């Protein structure tokens, strides 16, 4: 039995890519748990990771890269409960029935929720892993009432995660309270 024409398979995936929801892309239901999403993404990567297609023609490599980028986008959205909820709600109300695309860059994510008691989850707001320990420590110090030390921690967090509006607002708030 002859092997299927993999070039035809790649380009047929490319032609239907914009018609597929993120769930259809991975072949899972919208009820899939996070473990199922992760497993489906790994199976997807086994087929479409660009490193597995290095020997292909330039057009085929570009097609595979496009498919893989969409899969990565789908995984980032489906593995984040906030983005997934937003995606599901948007998908449910689309009149044209075409799937919605979402970017999952950290700056495009909705801001983290506010914890009970009104305190910002500063460690969750930090986009940079280098800033998280400083943000976490700042939050601990704020709860203890040590605002001067909290300010120092927030300065470090902001230095490691520049342009983070939540961390910048927390620093301004602390500075206003210290005065």
CA dihedral (80, 82, 83, 86) in degrees, to 10, reads 150
> What pLDDT digit, counting tens, does each position of 40-57 carry?
999 999 999 999 888 999
Pick from 79, 107, 135: which residue ends a domain? 107
* pTM: predicted TM-score of the whole model, two decimal places: 0.56
pLDDT, mean of residues 8-24: 89
- Verify that 161 and 173 share a domain, yes or no: yes
What is the extent of the structural domain holding 159? 111-178
pLDDT at 131 over 90: no
The crossing angle, in degrees rounded to 10, of helices 165-178 and 147-160 is: 150
- Verify that 76 and 150 share a domain, yes or no: no
Pick from 62, 91, 107: which residue ends a domain? 107
Residue 45 lies in a domain: yes
Query: At which residue do the structure tokens 């239907």 appear?
Result: 16
> What pLDDT digit, counting tens, does each position of 62-108 carry?
999 999 999 999 998 998 888 888 888 888 887 666 667 775 454 44
> What pLDDT digit, counting tens, does each position of 163-174 carry?
888 888 889 989
pLDDT at 19 over 50: yes
Check residue 103 and give its pLDDT: 58
Lowest mean pLDDT among 8-22, 26-40, 52-66, 100-114: 100-114
Check residue 137 and give its pLDDT: 92
């Amino acid at each position: 039995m002859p092997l299927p024409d993999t070039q035809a398979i790649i380009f047929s995936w490319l032609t239907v890519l914009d018609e597929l929801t993120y769930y259809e892309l991975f072949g899972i239901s919208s009820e899939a748990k996070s473990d199922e999403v992760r497993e489906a993404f790994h199976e997807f990567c086994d087929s479409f990771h660009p490193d597995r297609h290095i020997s292909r023609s330039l057009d085929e490599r570009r097609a595979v890269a496009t498919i893989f980028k969409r899969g990565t986008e789908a995984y980032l959205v489906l593995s984040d409960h906030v983005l997934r909820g937003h995606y599901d709600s948007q998908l449910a109300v689309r009149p044209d029935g075409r799937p919605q695309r979402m970017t999952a860059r950290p700056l495009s994510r909705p801001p983290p929720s506010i914890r009970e008691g009104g305190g910002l989850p500063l460690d969750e707001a930090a986009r940079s892993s280098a800033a998280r320990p400083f943000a976490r420590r700042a939050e601990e110090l704020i709860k203890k009432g040590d605002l001067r030390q909290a300010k120092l921690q927030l300065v470090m967090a902001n230095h490691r995660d520049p342009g983070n509006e939540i961390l910048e607002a927390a620093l301004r708030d602390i500075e206003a309270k210290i005065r």
